[in-house]
Amino acid sequence: MTDATRRLRRWCALLYLGLLVPSAVLVWQGANNLRYQSFHSAHALAEGLAQRIGDDLGRTLAAEQARAATDYEFFVLSGDQYLQRSPLADLAPAVDLPGLVGFFQVDAAGRISTPVEPPARQAENAALSARELADRQAQASRLRSLVAPAAESKRYAAPVTSAKEGVSEPVSGEAATPATLDELQFNVAFDEAVVQAEERAEQRPVKQQARRLPQDVQASSAGGLPPGIASIVAEIDPMILSRLDDAHLIAHRRVYIDGQIKVQGFVIAIEPFVERYFADVFLKSPLAKTSEMIVALNNEVLDVRSDTPSERAYSASDFAGTLLLRTRLPAPANGIELVFNARELPLGAGAGTLMWTAAALFLLLTVGIYVLYRLGRRHILLAGQQRDFVAAVSHELKTPLTAIRMYGEILRAGWADEEKKRTYYDFIYHEAERLSRLVASVLQLARLENGSGADEPLVERRVGELFSLLQEKSATLAEAEGFDITWVDESDGASVQVAEDAWVQVMLNLIDNGIKFSRDAEQKRLTVTARNDASGVTISVRDYGPGIPKAQLKRIFEMFYRAESELTRETRGTGIGLSLVKGLVARMNGSVDVANRSPGAEFSVRLPRA
């Protein structure tokens, strides 16, 4: 590889990289934009869902929050002072709390009561059948057994560690499932997913501060009631939702009624509650197809949902996709956090276009630069060959001229005897002949190159006539080198269209090459054969020399091409002979070809029959 080619290669590589890198960056940015768009729409969907869930649950919880403290008794005083059943006294009260175990109230003494069970002293007023009473007592005792441990320890909110403290036993086998949200590993590709959550968390603090809502709860609307009953001034703390055990949640609030502190609230089963407020909404949304939703309460994972139904067990590293949204629900449900995690972010229709554009760009760039490189290399090669050609032509002219002048001087001075004279005259004749052929070739080439000069007219000649045109001229060539030329005419007297001078030049070039390159061969002979076949007349020149290396067969017809070998270094030449042959034969509407024979090479000129 020459210096120039190396430089070209470096520049091409540089250009390629210089174009490739920015293009790759562009494509990468495009893909990122698409990903962001996709994230954004999923994120918006998730926000909408969180909003809906928050509103829905918020409404229910707010209604419970607003519930009169007195509703937690079996009897309440109606407007017209009659005792009547509290709205919570029904076994299935009209509240939107699926999975409800029951409402409860714990008084300062730690007694747990429930509005479904009438106090013993009022039992006969309740007008309940024995069967119904038994049902209510059963529900009450179930509720008590759930609430009692929490009530005893004055902890209604069972923290994460509740299981260890014996409030509830975790179901064995679930130990592998991470219990807290913080243990889960999310892939936060877009800050928005979390910043949003933090912002919301700030706006709506986890703990609704002791911003007590003094509520004047009018136990009954009308006046005229005995003091102390007519208007019970109650102060009610916000309702707090927490986990009671593996299967239940507890919502509780503290109320201050006439100096007494009571705890009121309800117990609800997690499964139906999550189903109603979270899973139903989520699974109906298109987001469920690509994402999962995690519901957590006070950082404890309550449930993980996706549209692959069976898989409920998960591990901390299951959430490898992209975090869409982590958000806290607004108060009063602000203990609850929702996390939406996309398993995949579909890039949409734009991705296909981008891929094709990127592929086309890449292909264009690669092919373009490669073609540029090839062109440049060809140019460099040609320039080099041209240089070599000028050097070769000068050399080809100078050497014989020097010799001719030397012999001329010897002859003029009369220093040579008769025998020597003969050799010198021969030499001068042959070299002059060769020089004029060379000059003719160069001129001819220039004409061919420019496409200028009057075309020699084509005439019809028989193969026999063509052979005799050549025989004398080639005989002198061959004799000088001690070669034999055999002429074989198998053309059956066919005739072809040729330009006579061009024809002679073509054949002499081939014969000259044959002699030149097989000078050291064992058989110093050439065979010129004319054959008549279906496609026309083929005239071939075969030598018995070394032949042509396979790799060079295709290139020897190129202008200025000289095979790099010992042989060519030893022989004279300019590399224009064969390209001239090709050009001239083409002008006669023919073609030229070469094949290796063993031994030697065979050049065939094919001409159309006249």
| Residues within the interface to ligand ADP (CB under 6 A) | 513-514, 517, 543, 545, 548, 556, 561-563, 568, 573-579, 601
What's the min distance (Å) between Cβ of 482 and ligand ADP? 17
**Would you call the peptide bond into 599 cis, given omega within 30 degrees of 0 as the criterion?**
yes
Question: What's the token pair of residue 188?
Answer: 């936060």
What distance, in Å, lies between the first and last C-alpha atoms of the chain?
A: 47
What's the min distance (Å) between Cβ of 546 and ligand ADP? 6
Asked whether 245 and 145 are in contact (CB, 8 A), the reply is no
What's the min distance (Å) between Cβ of 6 and ligand ADP? 25
The rounded radius of gyration (Å) of the Cα atoms in the chain is 53
Bridge partners of 100, per DSSP, are 268
Q: What is the distance between the alpha carbons of residues 69 and 261, in angstroms, rounded to a whole number? A: 11
Which one, 34 or 392, has the nearer CB to ligand ADP? 392
Which one, 115 or 600, has the nearer CB to ligand ADP? 600
What's the min distance (Å) between Cβ of 431 and ligand ADP? 16
Which one, 266 or 517, has the nearer CB to ligand ADP? 517
Bridge partners of 526, per DSSP, are 485, 543
Largest separation between any pair of C-alpha atoms in the chain: 168
Q: How many CB atoms lie within 10 A of CB 422?
A: 11
Which one, 267 or 511, has the nearer CB to ligand ADP? 511
Pairing of strands 484-490, 525-533: parallel
Which one, 350 or 546, has the nearer CB to ligand ADP? 546
Which one, 388 or 426, has the nearer CB to ligand ADP? 388
What's the min distance (Å) between Cβ of 15 and ligand ADP? 34
Q: What is the distance between the alpha carbons of residues 393 and 446, in angstroms, rounded to a whole number? A: 14
What's the min distance (Å) between Cβ of 505 and ligand ADP? 12
What's the min distance (Å) between Cβ of 393 and ligand ADP? 10
DSSP 404: H
What's the min distance (Å) between Cβ of 530 and ligand ADP? 18
**Would you call the peptide bond into 87 cis, given omega within 30 degrees of 0 as the criterion?**
no
Which one, 238 or 573, has the nearer CB to ligand ADP? 573
Which one, 332 or 583, has the nearer CB to ligand ADP? 583
CA distances from 301 to 56, 178, 220, 256, 489 (A): 20, 8, 42, 32, 101
What's the min distance (Å) between Cβ of 581 and ligand ADP? 7
Q: What is the distance between the alpha carbons of residues 483 and 438, in angstroms, rounded to a whole number? A: 21
CA distances from 213 to 104, 107, 354, 574 (A): 21, 20, 57, 108
Give the side-chain half-sphere CA count within 13 A for 83.
10
Which one, 324 or 563, has the nearer CB to ligand ADP? 563
